[in-house]
Amino acid sequence: MKTLADEEVAAFREQGYLVKRDVFDDAEIDHLRSGYDYITSLVEQGGIDEQYLKSAGPEVHIHLQAPAGTPAADSIRFLRKVQWPSMLHPAFEEIRTSAKFSGLLEPLIGTSLKQFINQINFKMPGGDISFPWHQDIRPTPAFREQESNYVQTIIVVDEATVANGCLHIVPESHNLGNLKVDRYAEGQIEDHVDVSRAIPLEAVPGDVVLFTSYTVHGSTVNTTSRPRRSYINGFVRASACDVGKWAFHEGVPIPITSDHDYHRIRA
């Protein structure tokens, strides 16, 4: 089972991020792509119940930035992200609870893990989707010492390049702590951090980017004619957090649960 070597753990702690190459294989990435295809077809067909299109609804949030009046068949390029896709398609659930995650994360946050984020991101050609500089802080007293107890992970599903809007990270920015700015507010992070130090994290399908909740990151639009999709899972040491959904208990995967019935996503 792949895990992190001592030098990788040290690099993660010093730099606030790490790119672990070749974690998921072609079959796993293809399986994930079948999940993306399912979500894409849902959006293209339209008729999704309004409650799933709002961030204040149940866990699943299909975040479409399509201008009013966009026909459903054309709206896919404006799809930004879907939160908790593991509720909608088994491919996301299988990878979320893969032993590869518990193996990778053990040296950083142990073997009993909860989860705050389960999300797929889309940057489709022509969609104008970007993520301004931000940190991934979870502002709740129920979650203690986030810097050392949280790991954000991004699985690269399509090759990520500067041209298609790959993730950029500011090394060592996690040392600045919680910058207490509004998430995604244009210009606010730049008052605290020299973002010219940011580096692009180009990567290929199967690679996993790991970073802390304080690490400053962001990305620009996809200027190519091909999609750039990624799969995000944010894990937290269970003993440091009284909220969130379980992912692993002492290394054993815990299936996703919800009080909401997701069998019908259409109105």
Ligand X SMILES: O=C(O)CCC(=O)C(=O)O
Q: Minimum distance from CB of 73 to ligand X (Å)?
A: 25
Q: Is 131 in the site for ligand X (CB under 6 A)?
A: yes
Question: Are the beta carbons of 233 and 136 closer than 8 angstroms?
Answer: no
CB-count exposure of residue 116 (10 Å: 0-12, 13-18, 19+): buried
Please give the residue whose beta carbon sits closest to ligand X in the complex: 219
Quick note: the x/- pattern for ligand X over 65-104, rule CB under 6 A, is ----------------------------------------
Q: Is 167 in the site for ligand X (CB under 6 A)?
A: yes
Q: Is 217 in the site for ligand X (CB under 6 A)?
A: yes
Q: Is 120 in the site for ligand X (CB under 6 A)?
A: no
Write phi, then psi, for 167 (nearest 5 degrees). -65, 140
**DSSP H or E segment with residue 218:** strand 217-219
Write phi, then psi, for 183 (nearest 5 degrees). -60, 135
DSSP single-letter state for residue 231: E
CA angle 78, 80, 83 (to 5 degrees): 140
Helix axes 99-109, 6-15, angle to 10 degrees: 70
- 89 or 134: CB nearest ligand X: 134
Quick note: the x/- pattern for ligand X over 171-200, rule CB under 6 A, is ------------------------------
Q: Is 154 in the site for ligand X (CB under 6 A)?
A: yes
Q: Is 61 in the site for ligand X (CB under 6 A)?
A: no
Q: Is 121 in the site for ligand X (CB under 6 A)?
A: yes
CB-count exposure of residue 183 (10 Å: 0-12, 13-18, 19+): middle
Q: Is 153 in the site for ligand X (CB under 6 A)?
A: no
Give dist(CA 49, CA 138) in Å, integer. 28
Q: Minimum distance from CB of 146 to ligand X (Å)?
A: 15
Q: Is 215 in the site for ligand X (CB under 6 A)?
A: no
Q: Minimum distance from CB of 218 to ligand X (Å)?
A: 6
Interface with ligand X by CB under 6 A: which residues?
121, 131, 154, 165, 167, 217, 219, 230
